[in-house]
């Protein structure tokens, strides 16, 4: 008898839960832990890497046929560059990588059937980044700036992994009831179609002319910058989402984002890994 009591017992209720079709408007609040690695030849050939976080505020309209997501993301990373021993530069120099990103994504459901196990979605994503990097040890090359805009082709596959029946598990003297819950597992891939960047054609040494009150800070910083259409960007996202009965939800995701902006003297490369946690606030009225 004691042996039987120590073994877990599982049973399923007979009634299966039928979920209503999705028709929801959500406020998204996201934070993350991230690891970034980048190199900007316009300031130096050094590789920088380090950890950081972000804060994303967004809006999402979601139904069985399509989804629209838009938002603003602020990120910051504290990075470290390991340099060879030098009489001119510190062996280890700290840098700050920060950025402001705005994005909008529209995906159309190719198989709008919620009762099916898989949904396939196709659409596009527009992303605009304003990046800023600071390394005081580089003197006149302390500051690095670029504006990057990417138009991307987006594909998403989503699997419904909802618990549709109540399950009961008994362990010793404990009885645990797991109620039906809506859950999804999704993977999204964004591939750059058009990439634009606004960067200088030379390094970031600021030696522009200063003409009294006729020279503003913006004209001094952005002097001789120009737009180019080149480079590439690739981003993937694996996410698990669980909704409550009220329509609110929680999401855990892993994001990998990489971009490259070429240039004869000022190529820029960046890769970032993120573990994101998102709160979805149901805003249906």
Residues 281, 26: Cα–Cα separation, whole Å: 5
List Cβ neighbours of 40 (8 Å cut-off, separation of 6 or more). Answer: 133, 144, 266, 267, 268, 269
Lowest pLDDT segment from 99-103, 125-129, 210-214, 228-232? 210-214
Q: In the predicted model, what is the mean pLDDT of the chain?
A: 81
Please tell me the pTM assigned to this model: 0.81
Q: At 157, is the pLDDT very low, low, confident or very high (cuts 50, 70, 90)?
A: very high
pLDDT digits (tens, 9 = 90+) for 174-211: 777 767 788 999 999 999 999 998 887 655 555 555 55
Q: Choose between 221 and 19: higher pLDDT.
A: 221
Residues 135, 144: Cα–Cα separation, whole Å: 9
**Where are the domains positioned within the chain?**
1-106+242-285
Helix (H, G, I), strand (E, B) or coil at 30: strand
Q: What is the pLDDT of residue 162?
A: 80
Residues 72, 157: Cα–Cα separation, whole Å: 24
pLDDT digits (tens, 9 = 90+) for 207-240: 555 555 555 656 656 666 778 898 999 999 999 9
């Amino acid at each position: 008898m004691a042996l039987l009591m120590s073994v877990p017992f599982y049973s399923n209720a007979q009634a299966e839960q039928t979920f209503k079709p999705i028709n929801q408007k959500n406020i998204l609040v996201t934070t993350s832990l991230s690891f970034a690695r980048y190199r900007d030849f316009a300031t130096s050939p050094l590789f920088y890497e380090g950890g950081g976080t972000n804060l994303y505020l967004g809006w999402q309209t979601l139904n069985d046929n399509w989804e629209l997501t838009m938002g603003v993301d602020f990120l910051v990373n504290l990075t470290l560059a390991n340099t060879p021993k030098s009489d001119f530069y510190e062996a280890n120099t700290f840098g700050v990588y920060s950025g402001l990103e705005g994005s909008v994504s529209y995906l159309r459901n190719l198989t709008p059937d919620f009762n099916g196990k898989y949904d396939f979605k196709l659409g596009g994503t527009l992303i605009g980044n304003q990046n800023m990097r600071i390394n005081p040890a580089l003197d006149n090359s302390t500051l690095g700036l670029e504006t990057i805009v990417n138009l991307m082709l987006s594909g998403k596959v989503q699997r419904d992994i909802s618990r549709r029946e109540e399950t009961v598990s008994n362990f010793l003297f404990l009885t645990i009831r797991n109620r039906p819950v809506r859950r999804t597992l999704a993977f999204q891939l964004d591939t750059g179609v058009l990439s634009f960047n606004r960067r200088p054609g030379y390094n970031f040494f600021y030696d522009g002319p200063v003409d009294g009150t006729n020279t503003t800070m913006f004209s001094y910083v952005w002097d001789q910058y120009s737009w180019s259409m080149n480079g590439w960007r690739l981003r993937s996202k694996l996410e698990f989402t669980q909704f409550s009965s009220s329509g609110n939800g929680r999401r855990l995701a892993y994001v990998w984002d990489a971009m490259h902006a070429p240039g004869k003297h000022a190529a820029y490369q960046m890769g970032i890994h993120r573990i994101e946690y998102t709160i979805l606030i149901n805003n249906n009225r």
